[in-house]
Amino acid sequence: AKATAGASWLFFDATMKQAAQARLEVEQALGRALAAGEFLLEYQPKFSAGTRQLCGFEALVRWERPDRGRVSPVEFIPAAERTGQIKALGGLIIAMACTQLREWEQTLGGALPVAVNVSPLQFEDPLFAERLLEQLRAHELPPGRFEIEITETAAIGHVERVLPQLAQLRQAGVPIALDDFGIGQSSLTMLRQLPIAAMKLDSSLITPLPASDAAAIVQAACVLGRSLKLEIVAEGVETPAQATSAEALGCTQLQGYLLGRPLPAAIATQLLEQALRK
Ligand code: C2E
Ligand code: CA
Ligand code: CA
Ligand code: CA
């Protein structure tokens, strides 16, 4: 028994070492990438339900690795959160979105809101909201042009820290969307507590539409959202049937591959230019 225990300890130790090494490797790679400017934003359009007019964008980060090509945020955001580098990366993402919005204002004479995903760890900086508002001022952006998306799991875990800053942002006119609604816990309490302007129904609720059980849930969520005067965004709309069903059930905005994939800045600019001309 002794020998087994010893062997499993050795194994455990080796696994820990591997994990530590892997972590160090990611940390170094992310650090290099930040220094080398390998991150960029794509912009996925959002559309008003019914009219199907462009009503804004969601900024989604991409890592363009010289050796491996484009890496999905699902692969590196959790790593950046583990290493703490999400603070630097998150700051860069906000700065890039502000720069793009400013460029649109200057070249097109206007813009539509851009939503940026914010990790709960970014709120560990007690001046997060302050710095964000300062950036908007520095870029001469009306606060309503910039939105933030936060997941309910994120908000729940850190209410004391997150809530006052969200309230400050909302007060200053920055709309807040509750992301991935329907897959977290305690959604109802959160909806009442958080100063939000929109709820985004997770694609897992939208994909099964127009099946009647999914439709019942989406409809209930829309009744709730409407009574709280929220925008209700259907995420992951991939088929015409899902789109018409989401609209009929009360969603106010649509987002998904059917209407538009995440786009490089240049293509998003063309789409925006067309929309502003109308
Ligand atoms: P999310 O915020 O829920 O973003 C929606 C994801 O769904 C995006 O994946 C988007 O490309 C994808 N998507 C949009 N429409 C469709 C559709 O019709 N079908 C399918 N199958 N997928 C669709 P992406 O860009 O890979 O981002 C994944 C997640 O990574 C995001 O989920 C978000 O949680 C996180 N993320 C992305 N950008 C950022 C960022 O700048 N900061 C932070 N903290 N997290 C980010
Ligand atoms: Ca999002
Ligand atoms: Ca989402
Ligand atoms: Ca998601």
The tens digit of pLDDT for each residue in 33-71 reads: 999 999 999 999 999 999 999 999 999 999 999 988 998
Rounded Cα distance between 60 and 261, Å, is 11
**What share of the chain in percent tops pLDDT 70?**
94
User: What ligand 1 atom has the least distance to the C-alpha of 257?
Assistant: 18
Cα 200 to middle of ligand 3, angstroms: 6
The closest ligand to the CA of 149 turns out to be 2
Q: Are strands 198-201 and 231-234 parallel, antiparallel or unpaired?
A: parallel
Q: Which of 255, 202, 194 is nearest to 228 (CA)?
A: 194
Cβ-proximal residues to 165 (8 Å cutoff; 6+ apart), any chain: 123, 126, 128, 129
Q: List pocket residues of ligand 1, CB cut-off 6 Å.
A: 44, 60-61, 72-74, 77, 93, 117, 119, 179-180, 236-238, 256-257, 262
Instruction: List CB-based neighbours of ion ligand 3 within 5 Å.
Output: 179-180, 235
pLDDT at 25 over 70: yes
Average the pLDDT over 91-102 and give the result.
Answer: 98
- Is this prediction's pTM over 0.90? yes
User: Tens digits of per-residue pLDDT, 168-197?
Assistant: 999 999 999 999 998 876 567 778 888 999
User: Tens digits of per-residue pLDDT, 155-165?
Assistant: 777 778 889 99
Average the pLDDT over 131-146 and give the result.
Answer: 96
> Could you tell me the pLDDT band of residue 14, with boundaries at 50, 70 and 90?
confident
